[in-house]
Structures are given as C-alpha cells and as structure tokens.
Chain A
Amino acid sequence: MTIIMLLLTLLVLSALITVMARTLIRSAIALACTSVLLTIILYVLASPVAAVFELSICAGLITVILISVISLTKSDSQKDAVAAAKGRLKRFWYLPVLLIAVGIGLYFAPFHAVFVTAPIETDAGIKSVFWNMRQFDIFGQIIILLTGVFGVAVLFKERRKNG
C-alpha cells in the first residue's frame, strides 16, 4: 500500500517535470522516467507482460524517436529561445496548482464508495487470450500498422523530392 502510494506520487511528479522542463531533451528523458515508473506500477498490478512491453517500447523506442526528432529539427534562434523560456513559466505555473486542487478535490469527493468492487472471476492465461480470443481485432491492428508504414513512406518520399 505505501509502496504503491510512493510510486503514484512519483509518477505524477515525473509527468509534471515532463511538462515543465525547459529543454526538450530533458522533457524526453523525464517522459522515459514516467514510463519506467508506470512499468513498476503495472508489475505491482499483476500485469508483467504489459509491463515488459511498456518498458521496452515506451521507455526505449519512443525515447529514441523523440530524441532523433529533436536532433533533426533545430529550434528557434537564441533570442527567441530566451524569450520563449521567459514566457513559458508564465503559461505553465497553473499546472501544479491545478493538479493540487484536483487532488484535494478528489480526496474529499464523496464517491469513494463507488470503488468497492470485489474480484469477480479468474480468467484464462494471457497466451490463450492473446492467440485464441482476438482473431478480429488483430486485423484492425495489422491495418493500422500498415497505415503507419505507408504514412511514413509517403512523408519521407515527399521530403526527398522537395529537398
């Protein structure tokens, strides 16, 4: 119980750091830290396979994608960057206040009773669910993966033509 409270607090804090960080690289690394904390929470919630996927894809692959995008695009000039950093704090300081207000509001809200649910049944193992129960939405997943592949192919083709 105390471990999960600590983990959830750290998760919200690292999400806050992700949004409030001044440079994009720091923001991407804080996002990876959020992924790692979410991995530990998923493991505590008895979902080790999803935790492994979250760790390897969200903390690994997406960080690589974000850092390559950051290095491929150059941000504004130095003067603009300083002005933006000055203006940033003015726009972003509402977020911690909002989060604290929402947290206090949720804590004193009267719907604690909704969450008293008992486990209803145990189910089959993840292997049988993954390979036997989901013939239909695997098709959708394949179509979306192909959409992603063709989208990236079209985008990069156009970029080469223009450059």
Chain B
Amino acid sequence: MGDFGQQLFLLTGTGAMLIITGFYCILVSRNLIRTLIGIELLSKAITLFIIIAGYMTNRTALAQSIAITFIILEVVVMVVGAGLVIGVYSKSGSINARVLQGIEGQEDSRE
C-alpha cells in the first residue's frame, strides 16, 4: 500500500467517524438546537467526502463546484431549521423534544 492509499484511508476513516458523531448527536440529544448541530456535523462529513472523491480521481474542479453547491444548500437547511425551532419555541415555550411529544394539532379558529 502506497503513501497515497494510506492517506486516503485516513481521510475516509475520519469522515466515517464524523458521520458516527453526527448520528449519535441527533439520536441521543433532546434539545432541538443540538439536533441542528448534529445535522451540521453530518454535512461537514459529506463535504469532506465530496472533496476526497475529487482528490482521489484528480477532478478537484468538479468536486469543488459540487461542494460549494452543497455548502449553500446546507445554509438553507440551517436557516429553515432555525426558523422551525424559533416557531416551536414561541408556540410551546420549550425546545425540549420530550415536551413536544404531547402536542396535538390545532383547528383554525377562523373557519
């Protein structure tokens, strides 16, 4: 195994560890903001994987443009998630996921 292969092995292993960390954060935490942080860790791992794929096949330009697209979409996901967290907080007064289990749908009173 050459030096190049060992470097790629290290990079991919780190990406796998980042994915494990993000999934653990999403699964275990009960705070909604921590769930957003877990999604963020997952998307960092995916950015790393895209760039590794480009580096492996020597197509860094294509990989960079896809990574830039992904980073922009990541911001959209984060902004909509943040808006949802703020909406949930103003509705129920808590950002604990355990509290949200008892919420039921509400009929619109204007109908």
Contact in complex: B5, A116 (CB < 8 Å) = yes
Q: Secondary structure of the B side of the interface?
A: helix
- Tell whether B100 is near chain A: CB-to-CB under 8 Å: no
The total of Cβ contacts below 8 Å across the A-B interface reads 226
Proximity string of chain A (105-118) to chain B, C-beta cutoff 8 Å, 1 when within and 0 when not: 01100001101111
Contact in complex: A8, B52 (CB < 8 Å) = no
Q: Interface size of A by Cβ–Cβ distance < 8 Å?
A: 83
Proximity string of chain B (25-40) to chain A, C-beta cutoff 8 Å, 1 when within and 0 when not: 1001011011011101
Chain A residues with CB under 8 Å of B10's CB are 4-5, 8
- Tell whether A82 is near chain B: CB-to-CB under 8 Å: no
Contact in complex: A73, B86 (CB < 8 Å) = yes
Given A11-B14, A28-B37, A57-B75, decide whether A124 and B89 contact each other with a Cβ distance below 8 A: no
Contact in complex: B18, A11 (CB < 8 Å) = yes
Question: Chain A residue with minimal CB distance to B17?
Answer: A12
Chain A residues engaging chain B, CB cutoff 8 angstroms: 1, 4-5, 8, 11-12, 15-16, 18-19, 24, 27-28, 31, 34-35, 38, 41-42, 45-47, 49-50, 53-54, 57-58, 61-62, 65-66, 68-70, 72-73, 75-76, 84, 91-92, 94-95, 98-99, 102-103, 106-107, 112-113, 115-126, 128-130, 133-134, 137, 141, 144-145, 147-148, 151-152, 155-156, 158-159, 162-163
New A-B pairs, 13, CB < 8 Å, besides A99-B21, A117-B56, A152-B80: A18-B25, A38-B48, A50-B71, A57-B75, A65-B78, A66-B82, A69-B33, A102-B20, A112-B1, A115-B12, A129-B61, A133-B65, A148-B76
